[in-house]
Amino acid sequence: MKFLTYLSRLIVGVLFIISGLIKANDALGFSYKLEEYFSADVLNLEFLIPLSFVMAAGICIFEVVVGIMVLIGARSKLANWSLMLMIVFFTFLTFYSAYYNKVTDCGCFGDAIKLTPWGSFRKDLILLFFISILFIGEKHIKALLSRKMENMFLAIVTFFCFAFVVHTYRHLPVKDFRPYAVGNNITEGMKTCNELELACAEEAYYYVVKNKATGEVSEMLSTDYQDKWEEFDFVEATDKIIVLQEGYEPPIHDFSISKDGADYTYSVLDEDNAFLLVCYNIDKTSASAQEQINAFYADCQTAGISFYALCASSDDNILAFAEENNIEYPFYFTDETTLKTMIRSNPGLLYLQKGTILGKWHHNDFPSLSDIEVQ
């Protein structure tokens, strides 16, 4: 039991530290995931959405601190209860998400490690087992440091975790795990399994159907309904999906640029040099960098370099913001979720060359054109 307790401390402590640090690297992205959980069609806790970033930052810091507490044996009773309450909550959340197919990725390890809903649930069950071992073997957990040293060490860890979260929020993630990372080519990331001659994923929906002979209502896979449509009446499609065959999924699948009904996606991606200004929601866009952005756009015009502002807001809201900030550059439409994924800044800037991302800047670090080596 003593060895199993030590092993559980190592596994639980390391996993929580890794999970916390990965999420702290992109706390804003984790807050988007919490917003998804709090939305009306998932948990219906929309009043928590304004607090999502604060909660995300708190969870990141808490995971790292409690993981270290487990490793050094600090306040074992407090650490064990904290872990148990957290894992019970997240086990329920991942089960609910998986069973009702509400959130396709829990965000447990940010964008670094993608887990399916059921994979997330199984991960939480395994952690629940090891945390239970910590409860049972609590008498074998001995503190490695004195209480005074413990307090100092945990205070330092908390401070640095907090500083790390603030830094990545006010700038950009230190490590970008998303498909829009610097060096990636958007066009290549959009290629489908057929274009790459790879195996494609196959999925089926559950339909609600009614037996024509008996009137009995039941659920049936869409693939089965295709063969039995003469015997059953279609009622409605459900949100439940089953994967029939695993296959290649393009990492970029919702990227598009349009304006007034015209599609500019591939013409933009084919340009030798292009700058994309990302403003996922114009009402939440920081106005502090607008003077710099206007000057940058003027320099691009002089140098003959294309500049596109991508936004998901309504034309009226965009027009009002443009008039208020003396904006002359054109706005194009791109899906809001895609824009949030492209860069964790509102606004943020991307530099593309033939679809390859060569640079990304937070609005707090907005560059001048002379600072960039335009090739």
Does 53 have pLDDT greater than 70? yes
In this prediction, residue 109 carries a pLDDT of: 55
Average pLDDT score, the chain: 88
DSSP codes joined into one string, 149-163: HHHHHHHHHHHHHHH
- State what percent of residues in the chain have pLDDT above 70: 96
Region 239-268: what's the mean pLDDT?
A: 88
In this prediction, residue 114 carries a pLDDT of: 67
Token pair of 65 as six digits: 């601190």
CA distance 309 to 331: 5
Does 172 have pLDDT greater than 80? yes
Region 274-301: what's the mean pLDDT?
A: 92
CA distance 150 to 248: 48
Q: Kindly provide the b/e burial profile for residues 118-141, where b requires at least 16 CB atoms within 10 angstroms of the residue's own CB.
A: ebbbebbeebbebbebbeebeebb
Mutual angle of helices 52-72 and 147-170, in 10-degree steps: 150
In this prediction, residue 108 carries a pLDDT of: 55
Token pair of 302 as six digits: 């002089």
* 37/108: higher pLDDT: 37
Q: Where are the alpha helices (DSSP H) in the chain?
A: 2-24, 27-38, 52-72, 76-99, 117-136, 147-170, 186-190, 222-228, 265-269, 290-303, 315-324, 336-342
Amino acid letter, residue 338? T
- Per-residue pLDDT of 21-33, as tens digits, reads 999 999 999 999 8
In this prediction, residue 78 carries a pLDDT of: 87
The least confident of 209-218, 315-324, 329-338, 344-353 is 209-218
Q: What is the pTM of this model?
A: 0.83
- Per-residue pLDDT of 62-98, as tens digits, reads 999 999 999 898 888 888 888 888 888 888 878 877 7
In this prediction, residue 160 carries a pLDDT of: 96
pLDDT tier at 243, thresholds 50, 70, 90: confident
* 233/107: higher pLDDT: 233
Does 112 have pLDDT greater than 80? no
Domains, the chain, ordered by start: 2-170 (no CATH), 202-245 (no CATH), 252-371 (3.40.30.10)
The least confident of 111-120, 275-284, 315-324, 353-362 is 111-120
The least confident of 10-19, 200-209, 298-307 is 200-209
CA distance 84 to 107: 19
Token pair of 355 as six digits: 């679809």
Beta bridge partners of 205: 241
